[in-house]
Amino acid sequence: MEITDFPKKRLRDYEEFSDPDVLEKIERISRDLKGLKVVHVNATSFGGGVAELLYTLVPLMRSVGIDARWEVMEAPNEFFNVTKKLHNTLQGAEIEISDEEWDLYMKVNEENAKKLNLDADVLVVHDPQPAAIVGFTKGTGKLVWRCHIDLSSPNESVWNKMKDILSPYERMLFHLDEYFPEDFKEISVRFPPSIDPTSDKNRELNQEEFESVLKRFSIPKKPALTVVARFDPWKDLFSAIDVYKIVKREFDVQLLIVSAMASDDPEGWIFYEKVLRYAGLDEDIRFLTNLIGVGSLEVNALQRFSSLGLHTATKEGFGLVISEMLWKKNPVVARPAGGVKIQIDDGENGFLRWEKDELAEAILDLLKNDEKRRRFGENGREKVRREFLTTSHLLRYLRIFYELVS
C-alpha cells in the first residue's frame, strides 16, 4: 500500500532551527540528485517511530527534488506475531522461531514484493519485517537496509538465517557503530534518526492548545515524571513505576505513561494489561494512549507539562522520545541503553543510571533544584538542535544516495 497523505514540508521551514551550513549542503547535493527515484518500505503507517520519521522525510525529500515514495506492507496478524519474535531475538532474546514461522515470514515478503511498487533507483527497507522482500524483486536499484533496533548481540541461530536474507543489501544503516554486524561491517554506516521541530509533536504550542490538553485529560497541576514508550518488554515500564514509587516517598509527583498501540505489535496489548495491573489503583499513575485520543499534539503538550522525562528501557535502538523531551527543555533521567547514551550527556542535560534507586536519586536531585533543572533543559535543547533534527537526517540520506548512484 502506498502512503500518499503527507503534510507539506519545505526546506525553508527549518531555517530558524537548523545551522545554515546544513541547509546549504542539502541544497547543493540535492541538485545532483534531481529526479532520483527512492522508495521506502516498512511494516506500518502508524504507531511506530519509523512511520513518524517517514511522514516527515518523504515529503521533505520531494521538496528538494527527489522522487520519493513510501510503501507499507500488507500482512496478517500472524505475520506480525512472527516478526515481533524476530525483533526480540535480533535484540538477543533466547526464544525459537520455528520453520513454519520462517516459511510464513518469507511467504508474506514474497507476496508483498508482487503487490508493492518497488521500482526505484534506491530502495530503502526499514527493519526486519520487510527485509526479505528484496530477494523477490527484479529491479536493478541500489538496496539499503535501515535497521532501527539494537543489533549488538543477536540470537545466534536467528542471525545465521537473517544474514543470508540480508546479503543482497549494498548499504546498512544503524543508529550506533556498536550495532554493526561483523558480517556486514564494511557496508555499515552510523545513521542516527531525528525529530521534526515543525511537527505537531514538537512545534511550539499556544496557551490555549496546551491548557486544552491538560483539561481534556484532567491532568493535575503538580510535578510530573513522564515516560513515553510502547508497551514492550524491553521498555521495562514496571521499573518506571518502581522508580516513581521511590521518588514519591520524598516528593509529591505523578507518573504519566504515554504510549501508542502500533498495528505491527500484537504483543503490545499483553504488556499493556500487565503494566495496568502492576500500577494498581494509584491515582497518580496516568495511562495516556491513542486509545483515549492521545495523538502527536497531545504528546507534545504532556511533554511540555512534564517536570522531567524518565526512560527505563533495558534495550533501545535509539529512543527518539529522549530527543523529543530534551527539545522541550526538559532533562531526562534514563538507563544508558543503546542510543539513549548518545543523546544524554550525563550531568549536563540529564542523568544516566542503571539501578532503580540511582534513577530515583537523580530524579530527586533535579526536582529539588529548579536552577539545575532549567540549565539541563537548555543544554538538552541545544544538543538536539545540533545533532538530531530532521535536516541533519535528510543530509545523511542524500549523502548515502549520492554515494550509491554517482
Tens-digit pLDDT profile for residues 274-312:
999 999 999 999 999 998 999 999 999 999 999 999 999
**CA gap 58, 405 in Å, rounded:** 19
225-256 residues labelled b (16+ CB within 10 A) or e (exposed): bbbbbbbbbbbbbbbbbbbbbbbbeebebbbb
Q: Which of 81, 73, 145 has the alpha carbon at shortest distance from 112?
A: 73
pLDDT tens digits along 174-221: 999 999 999 999 999 999 999 999 999 999 999 999 999 999 999 999
pTM higher than 0.85: yes
User: 136-145, 263-272, 353-362: which range is least confident on average?
Assistant: 263-272
**CA gap 175, 102 in Å, rounded:** 26
**CA gap 16, 392 in Å, rounded:** 14
Strands 254-259 and 224-228: parallel
Q: Is residue 46 very low, low, confident or very high in pLDDT (cuts 50, 70, 90)?
A: confident
Instruction: At 267, list the grid cell.
Output: 504483543
Please give the domain boundaries of the chain with CATH numbers for all domains.
11-194+389-405 (3.40.50.2000), 207-387 (3.40.50.2000)
C-alpha triplet 43, 45, 155: angle, nearest 5°: 30
Check residue 236 and give left, alpha or beta (phi > 0: left; psi -120 to 50: alpha): left
**CA gap 113, 124 in Å, rounded:** 14
* CA distances for 328 relative to 9, 88, 286, angstroms: 21, 31, 21
**C-alpha neighbours within 13 Å on the C-beta side of residue 132:** 18
Check residue 142 and give left, alpha or beta (phi > 0: left; psi -120 to 50: alpha): beta
**CA gap 159, 128 in Å, rounded:** 11
Chain centroid, CA 293 distance in Å: 20
User: Is-contact 388 18, C-beta < 8 A?
Assistant: no
Check residue 329 and give left, alpha or beta (phi > 0: left; psi -120 to 50: alpha): left
Please identify which residue in the block is written with the cell numbers 518500505: 41
**C-alpha neighbours within 13 Å on the C-beta side of residue 151:** 27
User: Is-contact 50 264, C-beta < 8 A?
Assistant: no
pLDDT tens digits along 349-376: 999 999 999 999 999 999 999 999 999 9
State yes or no: pLDDT of 6 exceeds 80: yes
